[in-house]
Amino acid sequence: MDERISYAGQMSKLTSRAQWILLVLAAANGGFLYFVPTLAERDYAWAIKPPINAAFMGAGYLAGLVAAVLGSYYARRWRSVRVLLWPFVLLGVVMSVATFLHHERFRWSYSLTWLWTIVYLGIPPVALFLWRREEQKPRSLADQDSGLAPMRMAASLLGSALITLSALLFFAPTIAQSVWPWQITPLIARVFAAWHLLMGGILLFSALGARRVHELPIPFFTVFTWSLLLCMLPLLYASNLKPGGTAVGWIGFQLTLLVFCGSVAVRALRAMRAAGQGL
């Protein structure tokens, strides 16, 4: 193989280092919101309550932390992180729109509110710049692994379900409020929509774009982490749940995501180990 093409198959240092910024932001937000969510009512960009809502957001950031750690410290190939870029663009767009739609809820005298706004406005152009830069490099395109077909079908179904739920949360927040397992506001509904769109996008882009097993561990461990942390919320914040059975269906869906994404990631790692491959 031509050395130029072989080298271009590797992820650039710029893309790798750009993930360090995500790592820092995800660690700070995730640690604060998931582990001390009661403080988010007073010390965040807007007052978040009940605590389960802050913890839900924290789960998204901690999942992003997993993606950033694996992507910046372990991944060497562009295609190992490629499916994450467009979903992160969508996350940034939806978070920015939610911020402007509900600007009156934000504490604009608080410096972290401006950091929140700048970060989400900045994600789409930065991600698109990195995408274009990586995609313009000459690369050899591997044949699709026929063994990925079962993953593609299940990931498409689950990803579509997440994106449908995202649409409900964003475009019909009052309906989402009535069926959600705990109390949410229209702003929280739209913020939750962004996280569902991110995770659903990761699954759909993996189903449509992944060609080899080394492209699966990072995206599927990301969604696995998100589902695992969300499954803990009804146990940690049982008092925040509404009476009724909606929590049961929500937990069942999250457990389905958890088992599926975990099994895909583990099987991919085993296949890579057997073939002597790395990320």
User: How do the domains of the chain map onto residue ranges?
Assistant: 10-136+146-275
Nearest to 70 by CA among 155, 154, 11: 11
Pick from 28, 45, 24, 26: nearest CA to 114: 45
- Overall residue count recorded for the chain in this entry: 279
Q: CA-to-CA distance for 77 and 278, rounded, in angstroms? A: 9
pLDDT of residue 101: 98
C-alpha of 161 from chain center: 15
Q: Which two tokens stand for residue 182?
A: 């705990």
Assess whether pLDDT exceeds 80 at residue 22: yes
Is the pLDDT at 2 greater than 70, yes or no? no
Q: What are phi and psi of 65, to 5 degrees?
A: -65, -40
* Under 8 Å between Cβ of 26 and 87: no
Return the pLDDT at 39.
97
pLDDT digits (tens, 9 = 90+) for 98-137: 999 999 999 999 999 999 999 999 999 999 999 999 998 8
pTM across the whole model: 0.94
- pLDDT tens digits along 161-181: 999 999 999 999 999 999 999
Provide mean pLDDT across the span 216-223. 97
Q: What is the mean pLDDT of residues 248-273?
A: 96
pLDDT at residue number 9:
66
The identity of residue 131, as a single letter, is W
Reported confidence tier of residue 92, pLDDT bands at 50, 70, 90 = very high
Could you give the CA distance from residue 173 to residue 76 in angstroms, rounded to a whole number? Answer: 41
- Residue 10 in this model has a pLDDT that exceeds 90: no
Looking at per-residue pLDDT, the higher value among 7 and 218 belongs to 218
